[in-house]
Chain A
Amino acid sequence: MLEIKNLHARIAEDGTEIIRGLNLTVKAGEVAAIMGPNGSGKSTLSYILSGREDYEVTEGDILYNGESILELDASERAAKGIFLAFQYPVEIPGVATMQFLKVAMNEQRKYRGEDELTTPEFMRRVKEAAAELKIAPEMLRRPLNVGFSGGEKKRAEILQMALLEPKLCVLDETDSGLDIDALKIVADGVNALRSPDRAVVVITHYQRLLNYIVPDTVHVLYKGQVIKSGDKTLAHELEANGYAEIIEAAA
């Protein structure tokens, strides 16, 4: 489903190279965890996958279902099914969460040539998904992410993921700032979305989240490259021994 080949990318403004020859393959149905120390390029990778213009790809390619997505802008990639759950969801004052959801769902449907949802159908879907994630209807009436607690923001991200039904989900440090109860709710939400035709990329710093969202593969990112790949036991290894050993071995 996702194939990243010898990717090199830098910050557009100052030319700092962040991703330096990264290779990664994620199959449909797979949950891949990307781990790595601070500054290894994890969040950058999520932005590059989703098409943020602050970064430039200088070499290599990103194939999504066999096609390069480098020429697509962020909204086109989203409509094709790439979803990024933000580490820091953005507040947009004055825009009601409901309104935002409706616009996003319908714009994506329009892009794919599908009919727009009727209001009752839209409402039904939102209510169902919100109930699963224990999101109060009152929260959906508030402006998007404004005044939401850390946990509420993350749950709102997963709600959006559930409603937009993406094919490739990228979770950027979704566990940061969550207490254990919130973490479980979020993980349950993600697990509910696991399916044979959907891939999930979990970017995280800690093994903790991976106890709840159990990955099929684990990849260690360091200085913009994947320096080691393995199964879920690799995450436990990292938890126990830290990154130093692997980094040394790779050097």
Chain B
Amino acid sequence: MPAVQETIDQVRQIDVDQYKYGFETTIEMDKAPKGLSEDIIRLISSKKNEPEWMLEWRLQAYSRWQTMEEPSWARVRYPKIDFNDLHYYAAPKSTSGPKSLDEVDPELLRVYEKLGIPLKEQEILAGVEKSRIAVDAVFDSVSVVTTFKEELKKAGVIFMSISEAMREHPDLVRKYLGTVVPQSDNFYATLNSAVFTDGSFVYVPKGVRCPMELSTYFRINEKNTGQFERTLIIADEGAYVSYLEGCTAPQRDENQLHAAVVELIALDDAEIKYSTVQNWYPGDKQGKGGIYNFVTKRGDCRGKNSKISWTQVETGSAITWKYPSCILRGDGSRGEFYSIAVSNGHQQIDSGTKMIHLGKNTSSRIISKGIAAGVSENTYRGQVSAHRKAENARNFTQCDSLLIGDRCGAHTVPYIEAKNSTAQFEHEATTSKISEDQLFYCLQRGIPEEAAIALIVNGFVKEVIQELPMEFAVEAQKLIGISLEGSVG
């Protein structure tokens, strides 16, 4: 699942400026013409054999979107996006619903292998004693294959692409889609609602502990393609699921847009753990190219004593605009946000979370570690609010920034709102740099400068790394090291 050692070693050998997943694959694509219109939306919907209500929902979102403006409050700068210069649908030609891996274009499988996700292996290894992960792979706009489907089915877990779910489990999709991130939530979410092409769907039934980690790998391959995936995860009463998301894109000169929506719903006593390692192409040394990552992720702790935990490692993208949030509606529910955001070169990150305490005895915890290097800008923006009825709401926030070099910026913008006298919030933030003493100490022990920085930075982010599933943790630590290469000297 995560990059194999080989890949990492190869990457270490190439030039610092090289992005490790920056290869392009030539696969025959089925593409919609550029531009956005009702016709394009109808086309997407018909390509996916969607039910009529879904098309209506999309069209409604589209007409709403046309009246909206791009948000400007985030601390990011980029030229105006021409939304009519994008393809809103691109799919590998031969993937009209593969039933198993054997039907998948072998070229595509090789792509995923290069990414360190040997899908085949995953299935072959199925009988072996080893942690196993079911993978749903999304290539440009469509889900190409989901592994382990059969085994999950036995446990009653539904894990498939959302298009498939719309056909096979329309009632579930209809019941939950858009209930956490409403159609008109924000500019990008509304755009996504109109044009989303695929994504993953997970439903874990009552009392079921999902027997393996679920994972989705997103890859943008086509030029001028917007990727608009939509993920919907429902943990029914007492259920538990851990979900991992990874992302890559090839190196390109122009910017590519990624505007996903992720909705999580945890019912009574359910728990969802959602981890992301985001490694989209960040652009080159001059700041050319790279992904615009404008993502809306939100979890709804709808049931009592439910829990949603977000963990993210953000190392890629030219611009990241992302606030995985929790609505703590159920009494006794708990939200967590653990984040590492690394920016180097010309990257801009404006990321954080919202913890909205609505129910009684709700608690939340935010640990954010920002690392800025190069000429990047790294902003933590987070909101914690306790509403009138949120008796005994509790929050702890720790938000630390580390600067490497004196041409980058680290910013902290917390919004703390208490409307209940029994609420107790604690927020702490610090900004510092790697001390000369620490660095010299490592050098004196024979550790070269870049390795020393990676070591110290990994120490700085440890609290968050610990929250990641084992396989992701190793990958994340290496990614952080790679992302910071060339940041000194």
A–B contact at 8 Å CB threshold (below): yes
Binding site for B on A (CB under 8 A): 50-54, 73-75, 78-79, 83-84, 86, 89-90, 92-95, 99-100, 103-104, 107-108, 111, 143-144, 160, 164
Could you tell me the distance in whole angstroms from the C-beta of A101 to the nearest C-beta in chain B? 9
What residues of B have a CB within 8 angstroms of the CB of A108 in the complex?
Answer: 445-446
Binding site for A on B (CB under 8 A): 435-438, 440-449, 451-452, 455-456, 458-463
- Is the beta-carbon distance between A84 and B444 smaller than 8 angstroms? yes
Q: How far is the CA of A160 from the CA of B447 in the complex (A)?
A: 13
- Is the beta-carbon distance between B449 and A92 smaller than 8 angstroms? no
What residues of A have a CB within 8 angstroms of the CB of B438 in the complex?
Answer: 90, 92
- Is the beta-carbon distance between B460 and A107 smaller than 8 angstroms? no
Q: How far is the CA of A144 from the CA of B81 in the complex (A)?
A: 48
**Is the contact region of chain B dominated by helix, strand, or loop, or is it mixed?**
helix
Q: With A93-B459, A94-B458, A94-B461 known to touch, is A73 a contact of B436 (CB < 8 Å)?
A: no
- Is the beta-carbon distance between A74 and B440 smaller than 8 angstroms? yes
Q: How far is the CA of A93 from the CA of B435 in the complex (A)?
A: 12
- Is the beta-carbon distance between B444 and A74 smaller than 8 angstroms? yes
Could you tell me the distance in whole angstroms from the C-beta of A202 to the nearest C-beta in chain B? 17
What residues of B have a CB within 8 angstroms of the CB of A86 in the complex?
Answer: 441, 444
- Is the beta-carbon distance between A103 and B451 smaller than 8 angstroms? yes
What residues of B have a CB within 8 angstroms of the CB of A50 in the complex?
Answer: 444
Q: How far is the CA of A68 from the CA of B435 in the complex (A)?
A: 28
Could you tell me the distance in whole angstroms from the C-beta of A72 to the nearest C-beta in chain B? 11
- Is the beta-carbon distance between A78 and B459 smaller than 8 angstroms? no
Partner of B441, one of A53, A79, A83, A92: A92
Q: How far is the CA of A128 from the CA of B447 in the complex (A)?
A: 23
A74's nearest neighbour on chain B, judged by CB, is: B443
Q: With A54-B436, A94-B460, A95-B459 known to touch, is A75 a contact of B441 (CB < 8 Å)?
A: no
- Is the beta-carbon distance between B441 and A90 smaller than 8 angstroms? yes
- Is the beta-carbon distance between A75 and B443 smaller than 8 angstroms? yes
What residues of B have a CB within 8 angstroms of the CB of A92 in the complex?
Answer: 438, 441-442, 455-456, 459
Partner of A89, one of B435, B441, B458, B462: B441
Q: How far is the CA of A89 from the CA of B441 in the complex (A)?
A: 8
What residues of B have a CB within 8 angstroms of the CB of A143 in the complex?
Answer: 459
Q: How far is the CA of A94 from the CA of B398 in the complex (A)?
A: 15
- Is the beta-carbon distance between A95 and B458 smaller than 8 angstroms? yes
Can you spell out 27 A-B residue pairs with CB atoms less than 8 angstroms apart?
Answer: A51-B443, A53-B440, A73-B443, A73-B449, A75-B444, A75-B445, A75-B446, A75-B447, A75-B448, A78-B446, A89-B441, A90-B437, A90-B438, A92-B438, A93-B460, A94-B462, A95-B459, A100-B455, A103-B451, A104-B442, A104-B446, A107-B447, A107-B448, A107-B451, A108-B446, A160-B445, A164-B446
- Is the beta-carbon distance between A164 and B459 smaller than 8 angstroms? no
What residues of A have a CB within 8 angstroms of the CB of B451 in the complex?
Answer: 103, 107
Could you tell me the distance in whole angstroms from the C-beta of A48 to the nearest C-beta in chain B? 12
Q: How far is the CA of A51 from the CA of B458 in the complex (A)?
A: 25
Q: With A108-B446, A111-B446 known to touch, is A75 a contact of B452 (CB < 8 Å)?
A: yes
Could you tell me the distance in whole angstroms from the C-beta of A145 to the nearest C-beta in chain B? 9
- Is the beta-carbon distance between B446 and A52 smaller than 8 angstroms? no
What residues of A have a CB within 8 angstroms of the CB of B448 in the complex?
Answer: 75, 107
What residues of A have a CB within 8 angstroms of the CB of B458 in the complex?
Answer: 94-95
A109's nearest neighbour on chain B, judged by CB, is: B446
Highest count of chain A CB atoms <10 Å: which of B445, B446, B451 = B446
What residues of A have a CB within 8 angstroms of the CB of B463 in the complex?
Answer: 94
Q: How far is the CA of A54 from the CA of B435 in the complex (A)?
A: 13
- Is the beta-carbon distance between A104 and B460 smaller than 8 angstroms? no
Partner of B445, one of A52, A73, A78, A99: A78
Q: How far is the CA of A43 from the CA of B39 in the complex (A)?
A: 76
Q: How far is the CA of A137 from the CA of B311 in the complex (A)?
A: 31
Highest count of chain A CB atoms <10 Å: which of B435, B459, B460, B462 = B459
What residues of A have a CB within 8 angstroms of the CB of B440 in the complex?
Answer: 52-53, 74, 90
Could you tell me the distance in whole angstroms from the C-beta of B177 to the nearest C-beta in chain A? 41
Could you tell me the distance in whole angstroms from the C-beta of B299 to the nearest C-beta in chain A? 28
Q: How far is the CA of A144 from the CA of B455 in the complex (A)?
A: 11
- Is the beta-carbon distance between B459 and A94 smaller than 8 angstroms? yes
What residues of A have a CB within 8 angstroms of the CB of B452 in the complex?
Answer: 75
- Other A-B pairs beyond A75-B443, A92-B438, 4, CB < 8 Å: A54-B436, A90-B441, A95-B458, A95-B462
A80's nearest neighbour on chain B, judged by CB, is: B446
Could you tell me the distance in whole angstroms from the C-beta of B440 to the nearest C-beta in chain A? 6
- Is the beta-carbon distance between B446 and A107 smaller than 8 angstroms? yes
Q: How far is the CA of A93 from the CA of B452 in the complex (A)?
A: 13
Q: How far is the CA of A84 from the CA of B435 in the complex (A)?
A: 18
Q: How far is the CA of A75 from the CA of B439 in the complex (A)?
A: 10
Q: How far is the CA of A57 from the CA of B191 in the complex (A)?
A: 62
